[in-house]
Amino acid sequence: RDLRPQFPAAAPAPATRVAEAYLVDRLSAKLEKRKKKVNLWKARASSLERSRQELLEEAQELRRKLVREQEKSAEARRQADAEGRQHAFTSKVVLRLEAEAKTLRKRMEELQAQSQEYKREMDMLTICNPGLSQSFLLPPEAMAVDAEEEERRRRSARRKRRAQ
């Protein structure tokens, strides 16, 4: 232990008191400035943190929108593919029907040409043998029934084609 006698500290000289007061004032002013700077930086930091949170929320919302848009575009792509397949199917059907119509027209032309040829032959036969013409022809009632039967067959065939 220190065995020297303990004396109370002597009162500082007035000049030292002024210097200490000046130093204390300067230090407290610096401390206040630093407190203000710290508060300013804290305010800036909290503002930046709020901004960062807002940006994160906005980014999440944009991600959700992007996902929704991607889902919509995928759905639209699926529909377009389905419509494309449907269109391809329809096109195939249309092409098949057009080809069928073309062959039917060709067959009709052939039959009309054949009918004209038969008519010419019939005319030649009737010119050469006037009494012969009546024996080749069916009676008018039978011809009317055949025409009705033919018309009924045509309508039935049309209905079947439409149903396919």
42-94 pLDDT tens trace: 888 888 888 888 888 888 888 889 988 889 888 888 887 877 777 777 777 78
Q: Which two tokens stand for residue 2?
A: 């220190």
Domain limits for position 64: 14-128
pLDDT-derived band at 141 (thresholds 50, 70, 90) equals low
Are 98 and 30 found together in one domain? Answer: yes
Residues 93, 146 within the same domain: no
Query: Could you tell me if 81 and 147 lie in one domain?
Result: no
Q: Are residues 100 and 144 in the same domain?
A: no
Same domain? For 64 and 23 the reply is yes
- One domain for residues 158 and 78: no
**Within a domain: 102:** yes
Please check whether residues 156 and 89 belong to one and the same domain.
no
Cα gap 27→19, rounded to integer Å: 12
Same domain, 31 and 65: yes
Full DSSP string of the chain? ---SPP-PPPPPPHHHHHHHHHHHHHHHHHHHHHHHHHHHHHHHHHHHHHHHHHHHHHHHHHHHHHHHHHHHHHHHHHHHHHHHHHHHHHHHHHHHHHHHHHHHHHHHHHHHHHHHHHHHHHHHHHHH-TTTHHHHSPPHHHHHHHHHHHHHHHHHHHHHHHH-
| Model confidence band, residue 7 (pLDDT cutoffs 50, 70, 90) | low
| Displacement of CA 116 from its chain's centroid (Å) | 58
- Is the per-residue pLDDT at 134 higher than 60? no
CA nearest neighbour of 137 among 157, 154, 123:
123
| Gap between the Cα atoms of 50 and 52, Å rounded | 5
Across 112-137, average pLDDT: 71
% of the chain beyond a pLDDT of 90: 10
Closest CA to 136 of 151, 121, 149, 150: 121
